[in-house]
Structure 1
Amino acid sequence: MRPALTLATALASTLALSGCGTLSKLAEVGRAPAMSAITNPTADPNWRPVSMPMPRPEMAPTQVSSLWRSGSRAFFKDQRAAMVGDILTVLVNISDTANLANATGATRTGSEDAGLPNFLGLEAQLPKLISKALDTSKLISSSSTNANTGTGTIKRNETVTLRLAGTVTQVLPNGNLVVAAKQEVRVNNELRELQVSGIVRPQDIASDNTVVHDRMAEARIAYGGRGTLSDLQQPRYGQQVMDVLMPF
């Protein structure tokens, strides 16, 4: 009775947690997924300011009667993103290939024998006290054999190419920029969501105001979506609950 009650409780909890998503899907029946409104990234309840180790602040030397500013790439004005609210383009070009193969083998054999041929001259009395068939020279005998063989293979190919504009959401004390980029593309009834966030150095921003993803620290790149095709590619809620609860 208890397993059934536990399963029912788990199903009820799952339905309660997925209720909002289910209702939104029911509201979109017969319609394309609605695009989200353009919002301030820092107004998201899940947004948190980034805190990173910072060097000691140093005062920039003043240069009297100089028109050139240290760190600037343009004589008149630096066109690259530098302040909160500035826009820059993030280039994502991931092409990773991993191929790992491991094989292990281990074998061990052990044997132990123990006896009591002499024990203060009383070894002759032990068979009379315990059993007449007792052999004091072979009191304990043990043997063990262990064999282990393991093989593993990992093959992975990933290719992601993205280009989207982001906004500077924070300037760290050492001058590094926190960038957040989000883009939504809807084709028929399928909505594709692209999200990139991370920390970049102003020096790594090119003259055309672009930055490559491999120059971003703490990079978070997400490419997904929602719609009819995405829903069909995922198991249903009940199956997901059973996969978690079933021990076999």
Structure 2
Amino acid sequence: MRPLLVALAALAPLCACTTVKEAVQGPDLTPVRYPAVLVPQQQDVMHLASAREPAPQPASANSLWRSGARAFFNDQRANRVGDILTVQIEIDDSAKTTNATSSSRTANTHAGVENFFGLESSLGRVFPGGFDPANAINTGSTTSNAGAGSVNRAEKINLTIAAVVTAVLPNGNMMIQGTQEVRTNYDVRQLAVSGIVRPEDISSANTIRHTQIAEARISYGGRGDISRVQKTPAGQSLVERFTPF
């Protein structure tokens, strides 16, 4: 055990802090950003302070209309910073892959020096006793390799969460973000979703499916007594990640 600890201590300076953090706290999601392949430069967005309209004023006497209020028959789908829409997460994915490889090779080499400018009999004086010019070189080798691997996983999540429009891109697409926490006894289950949506993909009921969210980041986990017991201890996780054996 002591040599293993010494090896880990020698490798510690070479390990990035983010890798240690991932081993202890788990992997983080990549920040949501507009694909750089489409738009390399930074996007200008409309933030909450400049995008929100003035608050509706009280209705005047003998009128049901309030200045600044939305019209009765206008589209009520989310389209501005601060608006709320419902995200339906229905993940039912499965993947199964099986592969196997094998290779083998056999090689034999035979070489003799029966005639070498009449000096073949003199070669025995240079080489050890028992030298046979007809069988000067005779080699053989055999190699083989076999490998097999398989992947069989299934994921199923069926959740609904409300998200808030946090920014509006110049082309009309919207960045959304939403979190939800549920506490049961001493354990908290947390759901988070973020990404970029098109106004055209939002249904008339102001809902959108997770498959229609670009740069989607969906996280479902928890913290508390149950999650702590299920999690691999930090020390064991570090040893398994950095051990060279």
Q: What TM-score comes out, normalization by structure 2 length? A: 0.70
- CA displacement 1:174-224 (0-9 Å, x = unmatched): 221111111111111110100011111111111111110111111111100
Aligned to 1:231: 228
What is the rounded CA distance, in whole Å, between the counterparts of 1:217 and 1:167 in structure 2?
A: 15
How far apart are 1:173 and its partner, in Å? 2.0
Match 1:92 to one of 89, 92, 109: 89
Higher deviation after alignment, 104-113 or 208-217: 104-113
What is the rounded CA distance, in whole Å, between the counterparts of 1:187 and 1:174 in structure 2?
A: 42
- CA displacement 1:98-149 (0-9 Å, x = unmatched): 1222222222211112222232332222112333421222222221112222
Match 1:208 to one of 196, 205, 209: 205
Give the number of equivalent residue pairs: 199
Aligned to 2:115: 118
- CA displacement 1:158-186 (0-9 Å, x = unmatched): 10011000011122222211111111111
What is the rounded CA distance, in whole Å, between the counterparts of 1:134 and 1:117 in structure 2?
A: 12
Unpaired segments ≥5 residues, structure 2: 41-70
Aligned to 2:193: 196
Displaced runs of 4 or more, over 4 A: 1-7, 46-49
How far apart are 1:6 and its partner, in Å? 6.5
Q: What TM-score comes out, normalization by structure 1 length? A: 0.69
How far apart are 1:92 and its partner, in Å? 0.4
Are the counterparts in 1 of residues 105 and 142 from structure 2 also a CA contact under 8 Å?
yes
SS in 2 for 1:127: helix
Match 2:140 to one of 136, 143, 152: 143
What is the rounded CA distance, in whole Å, between the counterparts of 2:180 and 2:233 in structure 1?
A: 27
Matched, 1:83 2:80: yes
What is the rounded CA distance, in whole Å, between the counterparts of 1:47 and 1:217 in structure 2?
A: 13
CA RMSD of aligned residues (A): 3.3
SS in 1 for 2:223: strand
SS in 2 for 1:131: coil
Are the counterparts in 1 of residues 111 and 138 from structure 2 also a CA contact under 8 Å?
yes
Match 2:104 to one of 99, 104, 107: 107
Q: Cα–Cα, structure 1 residues 176 and 207, in superposed 2: closer, same or farther, change >3 Å? A: same
Percent of residue pairs identical? 44
What is the rounded CA distance, in whole Å, between the counterparts of 2:214 and 2:166 in structure 1?
A: 15
Aligned to 1:167: 164
Q: Cα–Cα, structure 1 residues 93 and 5, in superposed 2: closer, same or farther, change >3 Å? A: closer
Letter aligned with residue 209 of structure 1: N
Q: Cα–Cα, structure 1 residues 6 and 113, in superposed 2: closer, same or farther, change >3 Å? A: closer
Q: Cα–Cα, structure 1 residues 129 and 237, in superposed 2: closer, same or farther, change >3 Å? A: closer
Letter aligned with residue 50 of structure 1: R
Unpaired segments ≥5 residues, structure 1: 22-45, 56-73
Matched, 1:154 2:137: no
Higher deviation after alignment, 46-55 or 179-188: 46-55
Matched, 1:176 2:159: no
Letter aligned with residue 101 of structure 2: T
